[in-house]
Structure 1
Amino acid sequence: MDSSHNSKERLSTLALAALGVVYGDIGTSPLYAVKEVFSGAHHPIPITPENVLGILSLIFWALMIVVTVKYISFIMRADNKGEGGIMALMAMALRNLPEGSRSRRLVLLLGLFGAALFYGDGVVSPSISVLSAVEGLEVITPSFKPFIIPITLGVLIALFMMQSRGTASVGRLFSPVMLLWFCTLATLGLINIIDTPTVLNAVNPYYGARFLLESPMLGFLSLGAVVLALTGAEALYADMGHFGRKPIQMIWFCLVLPALVINYFGQGALLLSNPAAIENPFYLLAPAWAMYPLIGLATIAAVVASQAVITGAFSMTQQAMQLGYTPRLQLLHTSGARIGQIYIPAINWLMLIVIIALVLGFRSSTNLAAAYGIAVTGTMLTTSILAYFVAHKLWGWNPWYAFFGALPFICIDIALFSASSVKIIDGGWFPLIFGLTLLLLLTTWKRGRALLQKRLSEEAIELSPFIRSMGSDSGITRVAGTAVYLTSNLNGVPHAMLHSLKHYKVLHERVVLVAVNVLDIPYVGDAQRVYVEPLPNHFWRVKVFYGFMDEPNLPEALDWCAEQGLDFDMMETSFFIGRETLIARVNSEMNFWREKLFIAMTRNASSAADFFKLPANRVVEMGSQILL
């Protein structure tokens, strides 16, 4: 009985915590979604009772089909050892696909493009959320209009400057603020529904279908604004590893979905009774005396939503680094208690610069809305296609079952993406250009690393005969201590070792070759962290395994070698790292300009010593030139 009670209490606690992190983005959509449908700069819909009921019906069923059925009921089952998100889904989809196959290349490209679009969403979301919240000041009095942009920039700059201190202090406010926010959404909506209860007819899908059939072009174009009600749906899946599936599902059905639907219907009821309220239907739900507190609460909720997106960008970058799709970047831990709280300065300041440019360039939430839909729908479409590969290739579903299971979601995603693409000229070009640029960087880094490893392998000396030649009669002096050489090829002699021999004419009495392998699972248990293989003449070969969400700490990993007969004394151990100077060449296997780009990325990557947390006073770097 006590165990059952404790389990329910823990589930409720996790559900409340998920409310503060997972649902911030979709929870702030009511600030702008309905307004953009009827008064946006991109094909606004005339305000008539039929159109209002039709749009509300589309929003309701979009929430039910896309979020509830697709993400909550289906996609969240595709967890990679409990973890979710586009990178985890891609790793699962790749698992049973043969190397070099067309399907593998397609999955890889889709996954990386989806990840790139996620970053596009990550810069548009804070911009539109905070800007739409602050725009409530203009509803009170037009004299506030000149201050909207400066206040928005001030809030966003303060938010990004706080990142280096960690999210713990802000995080304590997440759940209570969002609980108050969703209760406020429901209360404001309910008050207006009571005044105009006919709006509840929109639950009937007939109104949405009639709207689409009577005005096909108008209905199609409206989908580009309706999709704004779905922003943040991907976060439900991406943050699954932090809270688990059940807490996220529980808080969705118990609070978030009802609150969102009631608020959207409340805005619709307000428009039915007062079409002039389209100026800002969200804020005009509230009485005049509540306007200032509501603006303050909306701004805080927008900050919470932005914080969740920023944290997601840090986490995505960490995964991409582990899987070898981005250069190593400086990564700082902001909490000694929670390992997942990280801060990546380069990503933080890059996002802030882009967000400032977006706010100054677009200047209103209406203009930004055009840039928002493309990133959201593109990521959704990518997720649906990757889910098909997981169901067929990994779960073993019949290909036709998997195809027809994914087809309805893919069709809906294509419709939403197509409707959003109409706004490319008006601003939708930004996330596409941003995403394609990031895709170029991700693929260039991966291809460049593969080419570099190929060059190193071609020039490497075979390890086995080299070790046999290092016996007592080799003439090579062996000095006290342990030398650890980091290498990606355990069958060849590391370049750093050859350079060490060339310059010092000695080897340590014990030589350990270490290769780090990142698996397509999120975490690797400590008991499976290392594999040790003794070799002749006091050489050792060690494989270290990490999951794509593990944080590498090589000295800690090497401590586990003791169980397999290899002890390390860090004061007697030197770490040798190769640092290659890359030279581009014409007519290589990669375009010359991409070689130049790869070399520039390599120069700006952080050192392996920092990435693997090696003791600075025990590291020796050996340089060499490599012709790509």
Structure 2
Amino acid sequence: MLLSLNALGVVYGDIGTSPLYVMNTIFHDPPSPVDAIGACSLIIWALIIMVTLKYIVFIMSADHHNEGGIFALCSLLIKKSSSMHATGKKVVIVLGMIGASLLLGDGAITPAISVISAIEGMAIAYPGLTQYVVPITVIILVLLFLAQPLGTAKVGTFFGPIVFVWFGFLFGIGVYNVTLEPRALYAFNPWEGLSFFVRHGPASYFTMGSIFLCVTGMEAMFADMGHFRKGPIRLAWMTVVFPAVVFNYLGQTAVLILRPEVYSSPFYSSVPHSLYWLIFALATLAGIIASQAIITGSFSVISQAIWLGLSPPFQIKQTSTTVEGQIFIPTVNWTLMIATIGVVCGFGSSEAISHAYGVTVCTNEVLSSVLFFLVLKYSWRVQTWKCLPFLLFLFVDGSFWGAIMAKLPHGGYAAIILSLIFFSVMMIWFVGEKKLRTYRKVHNISTRLEVL
């Protein structure tokens, strides 16, 4: 139970803060009641299909020595797939590097949007404070990255109870608003989501790019598995996180049915006036905490990359005497801090950052589905016909990916550029190390350092 509580503070902050900004990125005009319900239905079923089924049930079963992340899938394929051709294994390695680079690129975007979306609540109440949103966000982010050397255990112990309270308020506010407008519960019917597409035709497809933001964080959830193990992460999702976020989205839907004119800020509009500043304070803390999942996930991914020989051997500091996967990598930490501050200063608002957000995550999801399918077939030797149903997840991922690529000209390129930088570092190291090993082998040079 203690690990599950800590997991709330480290793993689920990202998904837990998505209600702050998802609904207001979907609508650009006051929605009709059926459209509000339809959008909420799409959110709920995205959470069920992509997080609960794909990750919690399936992908988290594919750990490598209790470690998760895309390199865990690659390790299973490389080391346990005797039937896979050598060329196929090289392709897997490259896919792993691409996936890891995308996660690191996301590591600069997630903290930026999580914190600034919370701080913007201050400007909603007092518009004159808008000019202070970016400076305050930068200060908070610097303090967050400075706290990383304390380690996951200490950070999680502090963050866990706060996020637990945050999820409690998300659930309570959601239930309160649903009691005012029970029609929001129709969103549990998947037909409401499908009807949304029928009513709006092909143009509604691009709405999926905004819907996808509700599941961002699931890739970090898998990458953080080495910090907490799969059991506590699954328990926290099923008992706390999933009910809380679903009912909060339902509550925002109820508010949009009753007051469609608040479409630009449905979350804060759903909060009772007497609780506004309390929720603002909690949202700010939750936004800070949301950044933790991707930061610790980045440490895990780079650690695995070093172990596989795909990254320079950065200094790794063990931060726990009991859990091997709890680590801190200074170089990665400070690099992400600089990149994150650059994103905040460059874009300036959560709405602008949302155009860059999700591109790398969604691409990573497609790669994860492909690699897990290969693990089923080659590592676990599951019969091909039994693997085919998993292609449903690949279809869903591909549908989201196509929609979210529309963000590329509007800011999505920033995340891709960051990912390309990380990929270049890994690829240069990988190719260089391979050539060095070949040279040593040809010239019979020992890799052991001689005592001078």
Q: Report the TM-score, using the length of structure 1 for normalisation.
A: 0.69
**Distance apart, 1:102 and its partner CA:** 3.5
CA contact (8 A) 1:373 1:417 kept: no
Is the contact between residue 22 and residue 236 of structure 1 (CA under 8 Å) also seen in structure 2? yes
Q: Which has the higher contact order (CA 8 A, sep 6+)?
A: 2
Q: What per-residue deviation string (whole Å, max 9, x for no partner) do you get for residues 242-268 of structure 1?
A: 333332222212111111110001011
Deviation, 1:338, is: 5.1
**Structure 1 position 22, deviation (Å):** 1.7
Does structure 1 residue 446 correspond to structure 2 residue 430?
yes
SS in 2 for 1:431: helix
Taking the TM superposition and a 5 Å limit, the aligned residue runs for 1:227-376 are 227-335=212-320, 339-376=324-361
Tell me the CA shift for residue 46 of structure 1. Answer: 5.3
Q: Please give the alpha-carbon distance, in whole angstroms, between the structure 2 residues aligned to 1:90 and 1:256.
A: 29
1:115 positional shift: 0.7
2:57 aligned partner: 73
Tell me the equivalent position of 1:83: 67
Q: Any conservation in 1 of the 2:112–2:344 contact (CA below 8 Å)?
A: yes
For 1:171 and 1:272, locate their aligned partners in 2 and report how far apart those are by CA, in whole Å. 37
Greater CA drift, 125-134 or 251-260: 251-260
Q: Quick one: which amino acid aligns to residue 406 of structure 2?
A: V
Do the aligned partners of 2:27 and 2:264 also contact (CA within 8 Å) in 1? no
Please report how far the alpha carbon of residue 83 of structure 1 lies from its aligned counterpart in structure 2 after TM superposition.
2.2
Would the aligned equivalents of 1:385 and 1:406 in 2 still touch at CA under 8 Å? no
Give the superposition deviation at 1:303: 1.5
Task: Supply the distance in 2 between the matched residues of 1:253 and 1:437 (Cα, whole angstroms).
Answer: 37
Q: 1:243 to 1:335 in 2, by over 3 A?
A: closer
Output the CA distance in 1 between the equivalents of 2:401 and 2:383.
28
Residue identity in the other structure for 1:134: I
1:85-136 residue CA offsets vs partner (Å, 9 max, x unmatched)? 1111111122315686342233222211111110011111100000000000
2:20 maps to which of 31, 38, 45: 31
Matched, 1:64 2:53: no
Opposite residue 458 of structure 1, the aligned amino acid is V
Letter in 2 for 1:437: I
Q: Whose Rg is larger? A: 1
Displacement of 1:52 after TM fit? 0.7
Separation (CA, whole Å) in 2 of partners of 1:331 and 1:247: 25
Does residue 400 of structure 2 align to residue 416 of structure 1? yes
Whether the 8 Å contact between 1:54 and 1:207 is mirrored in structure 2 is yes
Question: Does the 8 Å CA contact 1:334/1:343 hold for their aligned counterparts?
Answer: yes
Distance in 2, Cα, partners of 1:452 & 1:385? 31
Q: Larger deviation: 176-185 or 427-436?
A: 427-436
Find the counterpart in structure 2 of residue 386 from structure 1. Answer: 371
Matched, 1:157 2:130: no
> Could you tell me which residue of structure 2 aligns to residue 428 of structure 1?
412
**1:321 offset after TM fit, Å?**
1.1
Structure 2 equivalent of residue 127 of structure 1: 112
2:35 to 51, 65, 76: 51
1:333: how far off? Answer: 3.7
Q: Distance in 2 between matches of 1:15 and 1:349?
A: 28
Partner of 2:11: 22
Check the 8 A contact 2:152/2:227 in 1, yes or no.
Answer: no
Contact 1:131 1:365 in 2 (8 A): yes
Give the conservation status (yes or no) of the 8 Å contact 1:320–1:326: yes
Q: Indicate the residue corresponding to 1:455 in structure 2.
A: 439
Aligned counterpart, 1:221: 206
Which amino acid letter does the alignment assign opposite residue 451 of structure 1?
A: K
CA distance in 2, matches of 1:167, 1:451: 37
The CA RMSD measured in Å over matched residues stands at: 1.9
Identity %: 39
Within 1, Cα distance between the matches of 2:273 and 2:212? 30
Aligned partner of 2:196 among 198, 211, 221? 211
Q: SS at the partner of 2:266?
A: coil
Distance 2:124 2:89 in 1: 52
Q: 1:247 & 1:167 partners in 2: Cα distance?
A: 15
Q: Distance in 2 between matches of 1:162 and 1:412?
A: 37
8 Å contact from structure 1 (residues 57, 204) kept in 2: yes
More helix by share: 2
2:310–2:426: 8 Å Cα contact kept in structure 1?
A: yes
Distance of 1:169 and 1:74 partners within structure 2: 30
- Confirm or deny: 8 A CA contact 1:117 1:378 kept in the other structure: yes
SS in structure 2 of the partner of residue 318 of structure 1:
helix
Structure 2 residue 91 is matched with structure 1 residue 106 = yes
Separation of aligned partners in 2, 1:70 and 1:332: 32
Distance 1:410-1:186 versus aligned 2 partners, 3 A rule: same
Q: Distance in 1 between matches of 2:410 and 2:222?
A: 30
Query: Match of 1:141?
Result: 126
Moved more, 263-272 or 164-173: 164-173
**Where do residues 561-600 of structure 1 align in structure 2 (5 Å cutoff)?**
576-577=449-450
Q: Distance in 1 between matches of 2:313 and 2:229?
A: 29
Count of residues in Structure 1 that have an aligned counterpart in Structure 2: 451
Cα distance in 1, alignment partners of residues 411 and 74 from structure 2: 29
CA distance in 2, matches of 1:256, 1:346: 32
Deviations 1:376-418 (A, max 9, x none): 111111110000110000111122332x122110110011111
C-alpha distance in 1, partners of 2:282/2:437?
53
Residue 13 (structure 1) shift: 3.0
Contact 1:97 1:104 in 2 (8 A): no
